[in-house]
Amino acid sequence: MKLYFKKLFLLLLLTAMLLCMAAVFDFTVVGNQYSHFYTASLMDKVDRLCSITEPKIILVGNSNVSFGMDSALLEDAMGMPVVNLGLQGGLGNAFHEEIAKLNIQPGDIVVVSHIDYADDDKLNDPELAWITVEKNPRLLQILRPKDWLPMLRAYPNYAFNCFVRWQRGWNTIPAGTLYIREGVNTYGDFVMRTGQETSTYQFRAGELTVPQVGDACMTRMNKLNKYICDKGARMVVSYSPIADGEFTPDREAYHAFAAELESRLDCPVISDIDDYFFPYNCFFDTKYHLNEVGARLRTEQLIRDLQNWLNP
C-alpha cells in the first residue's frame, strides 16, 4: 500500500511539473496571441485610465458603452477627461466594474450602464477572459479571488489555442474584420463604424426583453458604490440604449424595472429611462450597439443628465 501511494505521489508530482513547464512555455515563449483583437483594446483603455491624474469620468459597462458613446463630445461638455471602459458582454458585469477599480481617485465620476442587473456575480466566459487579459500582469489584477478557479479550468483550452495560433503564425486579424483593437479610439470608443448613419441590424419579434434586477448584482454594486465613495469619488447609474419600435415591450414594464433599480441602489440613478429609447435606425449591428448618430444622441442625453445631477 505504501508503494502504491509513493508511486501515486510521484505521478502527481511529475504531472504538476509538466503542467508548470507548459505554463511557463506558454507565458514566456508563446506569449499573447490575441493582441490585435477587439478585446485587446482593454490594454489601451487601462493605460488611459491609469495615466489620468486629474478628476475624470469613467464609463463602465459592456459593449453598449463601447459602441454607444461619443467620449470626445462628453469630455468637451463636462470639462473632464473621459475614459470609456466598455468592452464585451460575455465577460459579465462584475468584470467591467473591476476594471474601474484600477484607478479611482478623488473627484472621479463613475457612470455605470449595464444592459441588465440580474447577473449571478460570476465570470460569464472564463476563456474569453483569458483572451482579454492574456499574460498582462496589470490586467490579471482585474480578476477577483473567486474568478481564479473557473479561470484555471479554462486555461488548458486557452493555452492550446494560443499554441496553435503561435505555431501557425496566426497573430494577425484577417482583412476586412470589423472588431479589431485598432477600431477603438484613444478614449475607448469603438469608431470603426464611422460614417454608418443607418441601421444594418434587423430586429425580430421576441428579441427585445425588459432588464431585470437581482440580489447578487445589487449587493455587489452597492459595495462598489461604497468603495468608490471611500476613494473620494462618486458613482451614478445611467441606462443602456433601448431599441424602440414594433417589437419593443410595453413601457410599463420598463418603468417597473427602473423603479425597482432606483429603490435598491445606494447610488443615484441620474437618468429617466424614457430618454434612453432610440428608434431602430439608431442601432448598428446588434440590439445594444448604436451607430454614429445613435451614439451622439445618447451622449447628448447623458450630458444633460450629468449636468442636471451636478447642478440640481
pLDDT for the residue numbered 5: 58
Q: Report CA-CA distances (Å) from 84 to 72, 124, 156.
A: 10, 21, 31
Q: How far apart are CA 113 and CA 229, in angstroms?
A: 18
pLDDT for the residue numbered 312: 83
Buried b (16+ CB within 10 A) or exposed e, 182-210: ebbbebbbbbbbeeeeebebeeeeeebeb
pLDDT for the residue numbered 30: 83
Residue 133 maps to a domain? yes
- The DSSP element (H or E) to which 237 belongs, if any, is strand 234-237
Closest CA to 39 of 173, 199, 175, 151: 173
Total domains in the chain come to 1
Tens digit of pLDDT for each residue in 202-260? 899 999 999 999 999 999 999 999 999 999 999 999 999 999 999 999 999 999 999 99
For helices 148-168 and 2-25, the axis angle rounded to 10 degrees is: 60
User: What predicted TM-score, i.e. pTM, was given to this entire model?
Assistant: 0.92
Residue 79 maps to a domain? yes
Residue 23 maps to a domain? no
pLDDT for the residue numbered 123: 92
Residue 254 maps to a domain? yes
Tens digit of pLDDT for each residue in 72-93? 999 999 999 999 999 999 999 9
CATH number for the domain harbouring residue 114: 3.40.50
Residue 7 maps to a domain? no
Residue 15 maps to a domain? no
C-alpha triplet 252, 257, 263: angle, nearest 5°: 125
pLDDT for the residue numbered 172: 73
Counting residues of the chain whose pLDDT is more than 70, the rounded percentage is 90
C-alpha triplet 256, 301, 230: angle, nearest 5°: 75
pLDDT for the residue numbered 21: 73
| Terminal-residue alpha carbon distance, the chain | 77
Q: How far apart are CA 101 and CA 98, in angstroms?
A: 5
Which residues of the chain register pLDDT less than 50?
A: none
Residue 18 maps to a domain? no
Q: Whole domain around residue 304: which residue ranges?
A: 28-310
Residue 19 maps to a domain? no
Q: How far apart are CA 68 and CA 286, in angstroms?
A: 11
